[in-house]
Amino acid sequence: MSRRAEAGGGDRIERFTRAERYIHRVTATLMLTLIVTGAVLYLPSLSVRIGHRQAIALIHLYSGWSLPIPMAAGLFSRAYRADVRRLNRHTETDRDWLRKRAWRREKARELALPVGKFNAGQKLNAAFQCGAILVMTGTGTLMWFPHLVGVSMRTGATFVHDWLALALGFVVIGHVWFAVNDRQARVGMRTGWVTRRWAEGEHPAWAAEVAAETAMPEPVADALEQGSDSVPVSADAGEAVDRAARGEAGARDEMGGAVHQARVRDR
């Protein structure tokens, strides 16, 4: 079922599907397991106190190998693939978001930036974590199977693994900190739904896009959701999309100045 069918009317908008929420939960569980077991293996005081080093090492190893699996499995979900495409698109709005430090509380609302479904910070976080997961998996494998490479390669792999793990830990802490300070974002990840008012304030271009999808025929909405660049839109549907993007459609009247800058898609 398309998001258009789910999002019509009411005070709430569907932000994440069930598949996306499960992927996030499994990935978060594995990541926390890796952080805890990695700390036990790296810090002698914890290692001595907890013991069972070999068991902890095996849990760490298999959790690391399992970490890319949820993201790979998510590619079977159309909504997940659509969000991956969104995360991979960086626009002028994203550059403005970073340049004007819109990550500060209520700053994005004040600037009235036409932010899409994901802001620049979320895109950078996703890119870093995805790359870090792949690098950590590769270096961890070289550390576990030392006979695969020479001494210099193992030393380099250990150096990269340790320091990247530290950086990843700080990024995860930052991610949790932003989530703690945004209740609607937490609700959206837990239940899949957010209030329309929150979406219009924090992600106005995405809110306008959802409104536009409700105004266009089902095949066109589905094609746009899949990221198609060549969609046969009729004149009436195209006019509805343009009106929704400019904030002229009746459903967009409450969005004010921010929606007047929003686009149908976050290019």
Domains of the chain and CATH, by start: 16-104+119-182 (1.20.950.20)
pTM: 0.73
Cβ(61)–Cβ(140) under 8 Å?
Answer: yes
**What percent of the chain lies above the pLDDT cut of 70?**
75
Which of 191-200, 227-236, 243-252 comes out lowest in average pLDDT?
243-252
For residue 12, what is the DSSP state?
A: E
Say whether pLDDT at 253 is over 90.
no
Residue that wins the pLDDT comparison between 240 and 180: 180
pLDDT, position 124: 94
The mean pLDDT value of the chain amounts to: 80
CA-to-CA distance for 94 and 97, rounded, in angstroms? Answer: 5
Instruction: Calculate mean pLDDT across residues 58-68.
Output: 94
Confidence grade of residue 175 (pLDDT, cut at 50, 70, 90):
very high
Q: What is the pLDDT of residue 235?
A: 42
3-state secondary structure of 194: strand
Among candidates 36, 31, 39, 40, which has minimal Cα distance to 63? Answer: 31
Query: At 185, which amino acid appears?
Result: A
Q: Give the DSSP letter of residue 14.
A: E
Amino acid type, 202: E
Summarize the confidence of residues 128-136 as an average pLDDT.
94
Measured between alpha carbons, how far is 181 from 204 in angstroms, rounded to an integer? 19
pLDDT computed for residue 245 by the predictor = 43
208 — phi, psi (to 5°)? -65, -35
Residue 11 tokens read as 């005070």
Helix (H, G, I), strand (E, B) or coil at 177: helix
Q: What is the mean pLDDT of residues 68-85?
A: 94
**Helix extents (H) in 43-119:** 44-50, 53-66, 68-73, 78-87, 92-99, 107-111
Which run of H or of E encompasses 195?
A: strand 193-195
